[in-house]
Amino acid sequence: MNEPRPETSIESTAAAMPAGTAAELFEASLRIVPTLDLRDVGAQLLAPLVRATSAKRASLMVINPETGRLRIVAGMGLRPELIGRDTEWRPNSISEWVYRKHQGLVLNGEVRGEALNGTAEQAIESALCVPLESHEGILGVLNLARTAPAPVFQNADLEALSAMLPPVAAAIERAMQAQRAEQLAQQLRDSSGLSGRTLLPTGTFESRFYEVAYARLASAYEGGDTADRVPHANGAQSLLVADVAGDGVEAALTAAFVQGLFVSGCTAEASPAAIVSRIGSELHLRSGGRRTTALWLAQLSPGGLLTCTNAGYPPPLWVPSDDNPVSMLAGNTPSAGTSAQDTFEDEQVRLLPGDLVVAVSDGVLGARNVMGQTFGYERLTEYLVELRRQPLDLVVNDIVKAIRNWSGRPVPTDDVTVLAIRFTPGR
């Protein structure tokens, strides 16, 4: 009879791995996903250059795009407080001269300069200052120094070092681009970014006649979903929920543009159809149909009259407070910006106290489970029937939770947004 196989534990697996595996994985990880810290990049690049030239002091400087000044990103034998700081403006700066003239220098004799200020008092007898040239131009300066009794640098050293620096400059350029890309990505994730300033943030809002709740779960690529609200002096409210085609910075800019048109053009007298038509016309005029936007715009009167216009958005659902069936509002219309000549029509619904209207994005209806099945309207309707009398924040958050459970993914492939409106007169 075969003996049962022992269970494999993490400890036994780790013990069986060849020595050096951890170090190998660490080095491979750095090659595949490099650090975004320019100080780390600079230190890794500076070390072999120092060894190759027998330098006693060294600094690697790059232009700080925010200040336009040279910044020491890595150094050897320098005062620690200089690393990571911009150099001061000085008329006779050697590094500044090399940067501006795009020309390397060999300096023999006593050399002084902030980029080579050391931790020891030993005087510098010889120095090399070389520009770092990338595809975009000069991005920094490399400074190397020797102290007596080491031999002084020669022009041949300058030529040899200059020939070795193109890959160094390219690596620094890639690191700077990656750092900037991460900063831009963070700005997109930041809720106070391009379209984040709104009178309809995520959460619940209560007025004299209505409750409104909005929930959003962003995708990994940060689409252009946005929502906003304009209150009117007569007690009415205008609401917008929009989904810009595409993702990234351009989608965020388009969302901000659409949001601005909505806020500036929304009055108590203007019909939703007229506002949507203007948004579509202006959007098409400036993008040529490349940046269409699906949106739903609704005006809520104090008496419960809902007047709305749909432009390519998934049709919202009207959920009566009693046991009457759920109804689907109008849809099957072109997105705003598809054509400058598109016209839209208003739809009106008389809400009774407690009635619920819910608008969701494609990210809700199109979410797929492990079998490839979409969430769809049928499941959404079942949830809303069950939740119709629950607090509004619970309604929107439970739908978002249901999408997470359905897809099995903490981050959706498309932005998930849920807007819920409940008529609550006499509050």
Question: Side-chain half-sphere of 326: how many Cα atoms within 13 Å?
Answer: 21
Fold of the domain spanning 195-423:
Phosphatase 2c; domain 1 (3.60.40)
pLDDT for position 284 = 94
* Cis peptide upstream of residue 18 (ω within 30 degrees of 0): no
Q: Confirm if 143 and 115 have CB atoms less than 8 A apart.
A: yes
Q: Which two tokens stand for residue 376?
A: 């769809």
Pick the CATH number of 22-187 from 3.30.450.40, 3.40.50.300, 3.90.190.20, 3.40.50.720: 3.30.450.40
pTM: 0.71
> Residue 8: what pLDDT?
42
Residue keyed to tokens 């060999």: 106
Determine the 3-state secondary structure of 147 from DSSP: strand
Residue with tokens 């432009």: 311
Q: What is the CA radius of gyration of the chain?
A: 31
Every domain range in the chain assigned CATH 3.30.450.40: 22-187
Question: Residue 235 is which amino acid?
Answer: G
The per-residue pLDDT for 112 is 58
Q: What is the pLDDT of residue 14?
A: 43
Q: Pinpoint the residues of the chain covered by CATH 3.60.40.10.
A: 195-423
Token pair listed for 363: 């990210």
Each of the 427 residues of the chain gets a pLDDT tens digit; together they read: 444 444 444 344 444 556 676 777 767 766 665 667 888 888 888 999 999 899 999 999 999 988 899 999 999 999 899 999 999 887 788 899 999 999 999 998 765 555 544 334 457 789 999 999 988 889 999 999 998 888 999 999 999 999 989 989 988 998 888 888 887 777 766 644 444 578 898 999 999 999 999 999 988 776 678 999 999 999 999 999 999 988 777 888 899 999 999 999 999 999 999 999 999 999 999 888 888 999 999 999 999 999 999 999 999 999 999 989 999 999 889 999 999 888 899 999 999 999 999 999 999 999 999 999 999 999 999 999 999 999 999 999 999 999 999 999 888 989 999 999 999 997 6
